[in-house]
């Protein structure tokens, strides 16, 4: 199925209001829309060079691995800017047979162009990967990202290469595309996500205020950073929640400055896409993370359990003790990140544990921990959406009741789930900076 994501505006003509500031801005907007698909086990593939910059923001929004898929346009003889097809990794070749016939390009000429571009493809692949193996795609949801689509032949080659590597689901995600090109992909991918679909797209660069060329150095830097994050040791663990086994995911990046336990709220789980996105941002800091379920599968539908703050707080405290006994993260300073009722559980547990280095609440209900707020010693950051007035009022009251260092940050225009453009990214930056500032040095 092919469809523009919510927020796309088909029709009309190109206009300044549709311009993206740059590729990073476009990637941020695109990532918000791809995140709504809730893809299973996603991998993000950027098409070099500019597509990798966009893809890095999409990967950050999904908390997914970033890799690249090298493609090369096949230029017409005597007019290299006019594409007659494209080649990609895995030996994929896609040709525009109609254009080739009209231009009367011979098979020998096609072979010569393809051979030249294949040599360049091999060179760039080796330079970008620097010995790193490609991220496995078999059985996974693959998001192919470019900075825009005009004719779409490079994207066609990339989609074919992703299929050849075993992708179970392929999503094509671009900031801007021509409507006819979007329609043509209906038989090639499961979904197209596009921020803008202007009726007339004369050039992809016209959608950007800054469409300056991306250098090889920038591509290599983004891929190296992604590889470092992917090298983090991730363990599926069984957490001791106080005599109760709770499922969790423990991720420990190299050189982690601390570890953050996520306390999910309101019946959510370790699979929460919002908390996974925040965790991915923390891991790049680098900070280790533990996402785990505070409730068992049988309890998560029980509203009384969801709001039982003493129960949730006790399980978080037990998980913290278990964590300190593990070899992977036992010496790291500990912080808590809580959302909704999970924020109350984090403050409840922190009130009894003087070694908790910092607490961050996202759209939390600290008011539910009022009996213990005055005993919390950990510096606490309360993050609330500006369009969430009831929760904002409750957080202000809780802030007044606290004696520890406490700051309230309001994200303008954000609602309770921080689904607006750039809202969750701002939450991630605020949380990262708070933990890095307040968590003591490891071993102190």
pLDDT, tens only, 316-347: 999 999 999 886 666 899 999 999 999 999 99
> Please, what sign has the CA dihedral across residues 109, 112, 113, 114?
positive
CA–CA separation, 105 vs 101, rounded Å? 7
Q: Which residues of the chain have pLDDT under 50?
A: 1-16
Q: What is the pLDDT of residue 8?
A: 44
Neighbouring C-beta atoms of residue 202, cutoff 10 Å: 12
* Angle at alpha carbon of residue 138, lines to 134 and 139, rounded to 5°: 140
CA–CA separation, 150 vs 194, rounded Å? 13
Residue-wise pLDDT tens digits, 382-408: 999 999 999 999 999 999 999 999 999
Strands (E), 133-244: 141-145, 169-176, 191-196, 233-240
Q: What is the pLDDT of residue 267?
A: 62
Q: What is the pLDDT of residue 200?
A: 82
CA–CA separation, 194 vs 207, rounded Å? 13
* Secondary structure of residue 154 in the 3-state scheme: helix
Neighbouring C-beta atoms of residue 336, cutoff 10 Å: 27
Question: Strand 169-176 and strand 191-196: pairing?
Answer: parallel
Domains of the chain: 16-224 (3.40.50.2020), 232-438 (3.40.50.1820)
* Secondary structure of residue 54 in the 3-state scheme: helix
Q: What is the pLDDT of residue 18?
A: 57
């Amino acid at each position: 199925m092919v469809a523009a994501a919510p927020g796309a505006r088909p029709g009309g003509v190109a206009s300044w209001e549709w311009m993206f500031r740059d590729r990073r801005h476009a990637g941020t907007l695109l990532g918000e829309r791809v995140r709504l698909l809730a893809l299973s086990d996603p991998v993000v593939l950027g098409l070099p060079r500019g597509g990798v910059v966009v893809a890095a923001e999409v990967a950050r929004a999904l908390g997914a691995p970033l890799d690249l898929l090298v493609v090369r346009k096949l230029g017409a003889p005597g007019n290299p800017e006019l594409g007659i097809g494209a080649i990609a990794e895995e030996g994929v070749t896609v040709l525009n047979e109609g254009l080739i016939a009209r231009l009367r390009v011979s098979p020998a000429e096609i072979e010569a162009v393809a051979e030249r571009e294949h040599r360049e493809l091999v060179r760039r692949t080796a330079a970008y990967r620097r010995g790193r193996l490609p991220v496995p795609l078999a059985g996974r949801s693959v998001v192919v990202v470019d900075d825009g689509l005009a004719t779409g032949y490079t994207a066609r080659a990339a989609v074919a290469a992703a299929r050849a590597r075993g992708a179970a689901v392929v999503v094509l995600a671009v900031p801007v595309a021509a409507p006819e090109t979007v329609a043509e992909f209906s038989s090639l991918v499961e979904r197209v996500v596009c921020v803008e679909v202007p009726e007339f797209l004369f050039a992809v660069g016209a959608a950007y205020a800054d469409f300056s060329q991306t250098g090889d150095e920038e591509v290599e830097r983004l891929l190296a950073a992604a590889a470092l994050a992917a090298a983090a040791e991730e363990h599926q663990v069984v957490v001791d929640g106080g005599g109760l086994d709770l499922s969790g995911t423990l991720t420990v990046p190299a050189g982690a400055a601390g570890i953050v336990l996520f306390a999910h709220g309101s019946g959510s789980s370790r699979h929460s896409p919002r908390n996974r996105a925040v965790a991915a941002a923390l891991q790049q800091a680098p900070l280790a993370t533990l996402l785990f379920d505070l409730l068992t599968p049988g309890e998560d539908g029980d509203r009384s359990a969801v709001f039982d703050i003493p129960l949730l707080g006790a399980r978080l405290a037990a998980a913290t003790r278990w964590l300190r006994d593990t070899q992977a993260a036992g010496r790291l300073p500990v912080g808590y990140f809580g959302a909704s009722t999970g924020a109350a559980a984090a403050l409840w547990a922190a009130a009894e544990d003087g070694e908790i280095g910092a607490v961050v609440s996202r759209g939390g209900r600290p008011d539910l921990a009022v009996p213990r707020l005055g005993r919390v010693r950990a510096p606490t950051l309360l993050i609330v959406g500006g369009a969430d007035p009831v929760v904002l009022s409750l957080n202000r009251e809780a802030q007044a009741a606290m004696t520890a260092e406490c700051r309230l940050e309001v994200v303008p225009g954000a609602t309770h789930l921080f689904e607006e453009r750039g809202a969750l990214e701002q939450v991630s930056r605020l949380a990262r900076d708070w933990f890095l500032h307040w968590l003591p040095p490891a071993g102190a």
